[in-house]
Amino acid sequence: MSHDPAVYARSVGLDPAQLPRHVAVIMDGNGRWARAQGKERVEGHARGARSVDEVTEECCRLGIGQLTLYCLSSENWKRPKAELDFLMALLKQYLLQEREKILRQNIRFAVIGRRDGLPDEVLAEIDENERLTRGNTGLTLCLAINYGARAEIVDAVKALAERVKRGDLDPAAIDEDAISASLYTAGMPDPDLLVRTAGEMRVSNYLLWQISYAELWVTPRFWPEFGVELLHDALRDFARRERRFGGLRPAEPT
């Protein structure tokens, strides 16, 4: 297999010039997959972690710049304590077990979301992975943990208001760039492609500001079933889309 992402992309029938720079994913359906298999919900989360690994590795091979995964929403704290405890243990295990592979693959690791409520031992491993990979130049793997887009926008507005209060910012200077720079995703490109599994036709409070012009791709398959083939399907469909960002085709009359 070629180590050149462009050569590899062509080998699997993808045009490297038509790949998204940033793919965001709403990983849905772990519990429903488990029920369909006659298993406990937590087994769906464990199998979903394998899909995370497969998709991350394939994005690395394809040379995609960023992959952002919706791991835990701020609303997910309503779930049973036993399930949340399992998710935190699974997250800590992932952070530890994948660290060597992340470093070897030149992945830059990042997390967005509020830190409140996350166990100290999980926060410590997040911080360590971010520290160790800060200088890496390959795929940015961004996990949205305890994340909600409305909360993110509230935090951004508060940060801007504090700057105005201190006299560091003229309210008239607040524009889209200033707001983007105050979000958790500051410095990251906006997603080009948003993938959602399990057939749900909503964005679930995910990257509301950032996905303004993202292409949406929804599959009825559950996240534990999502792998390289479905990722390729999403990327091929993205390549066929005409992204006009509110404009017209070159030959289209006004």
Tens digits of per-residue pLDDT, 83-141? 999 999 999 999 999 999 999 999 999 999 999 999 999 999 999 999 999 999 999 99
Q: What are the residues facing 140 on neighbouring strands?
A: 66, 108
Strands 140-147 and 215-218: unpaired
Both structure tokens of 65 = 């710049």
Distance CA 27, CA 248 (A): 33
Distance CA 54, CA 69 (A): 13
Residue with tokens 């559950």: 222
The SS3 call for residue 218 is: strand
- Look at the alpha carbons of 233, 238, 241, 246 in this order and tell me if their dihedral is positive or negative: positive
Active-site residue, selected from the candidate residues 4, 15, 28, 146:
28
The whole model's pTM is what? 0.93
76 is catalytic: yes
CATH class of 5-148+191-235: alpha beta
Residue 201 phi, psi (nearest 5) = -105, 60
Chain centroid to CA 62: how far?
16
| % of the chain surpassing 70 pLDDT | 95
Active-site residue, selected from the candidate residues 4, 15, 53, 76:
76
Strands 140-147 and 193-196: unpaired
15 is catalytic: no
